[in-house]
Structure 1
Amino acid sequence: MTTKSPRSTPTRHATAADTRAAVDALMATLAHPYKPGIEALREAILAVDPAIAEGVKWNAPSFRTGEYFATFHLRAKTGIVLILHLGAKARVLPGDGLAIDDPEGLLAWLGKDRAQVVFAYDADARRRIPALQAVLRQWIRVV
């Protein structure tokens, strides 16, 4: 029996914007000073788990398993910014929020349910991919 990859399996995210093709089209026209770093991070995020798919949300590349959990903030004034969140629905969380092991201090918490990761430039993003992937493995367990 042959099984399909989760990236090709139909889900409730079935709009044209919820596809890799939509992200490819967005990236083809993106004029951003750190586009190579964004592309490297995009592939690194997809490599974290085969259940991760991508789409365009808020006019930016976004990533999901059951719900969207990460979105690039392309209008940030400096560097490459990735916002980690828990989808559109409110979640009941422990009093002190999510427990994510972050030994390299990547996460800047914006609330109990969201954080941002800022990379100063392309090489910084590439250098910190392993640490980001470790954080994302934990994050997607909550989503």
Structure 2
Amino acid sequence: MTSAEVDAYLDSLSHQLKPVVVRLREAIMASDEGFSEHLKWKAPSFVYAGEDRVTFALHPANRIRIVLHRGVQRRADADGFRFEDPSGLVVWAAPDRGVVTFASVEAAADAEAALLELIGRWVRA
């Protein structure tokens, strides 16, 4: 089920890539019934198994970033954590925090299947 809070936020969102945000939000939520959502960092964020794991970052307005993380707090095993990204979509900010960036509707559409597969593996890692 989608969050009314996120629906209201997206209804009022003014962003160049709003169609990408809306499409990817729907696709992520539909990809696994274990997801729930809320707002974090003034953007949709997805919770899996009780922890924030995937969050949109919507500023600046000429791109969207999808942040892959392992919860609110840095985990004790962060330095030794490894995750393979055969898609090449992720830029790693730390061993346990990565960012996927899209600057166009076309780029997001072309990568959607790979992104959803990546997110599915990420939330189980």
Give the corresponding residue for 1:35.
18
Give the corresponding residue for 2:83.
99
The 3 A distance-change label for structure 1 pair 95 and 59 is: closer
Offset of residue 48 of structure 1: 2.1
Runs of 4+ deviating beyond 4 Å: none
Give the aligned CA root-mean-square deviation in angstroms: 1.7
Structure 2 length normalisation: TM-score? 0.90
Give the corresponding residue for 2:34.
51
What is the rounded CA distance, in whole Å, between the counterparts of 1:30 and 1:77 in structure 2? 11
Offset of residue 96 of structure 1: 4.5
Q: Give the structure with the higher percent helix.
A: 2
The 3 A distance-change label for structure 1 pair 72 and 49 is: same
Q: Give the structure with the higher percent strand.
A: 2
What is the rounded CA distance, in whole Å, between the counterparts of 1:108 and 1:44 in structure 2? 21
Structure 1 length normalisation: TM-score? 0.79
Offset of residue 78 of structure 1: 3.4
Q: Does 2:55 match 1:74?
A: no
Gapped runs of 5+ residues in structure 1? 1-6, 8-18
Asked whether the 8 Å contact 2:17–2:61 carries over to 1, the reply is no
Bigger CA radius of gyration: 1
Asked whether the 8 Å contact 1:70–1:85 carries over to 2, the reply is yes
Q: Does 2:68 match 1:84?
A: yes
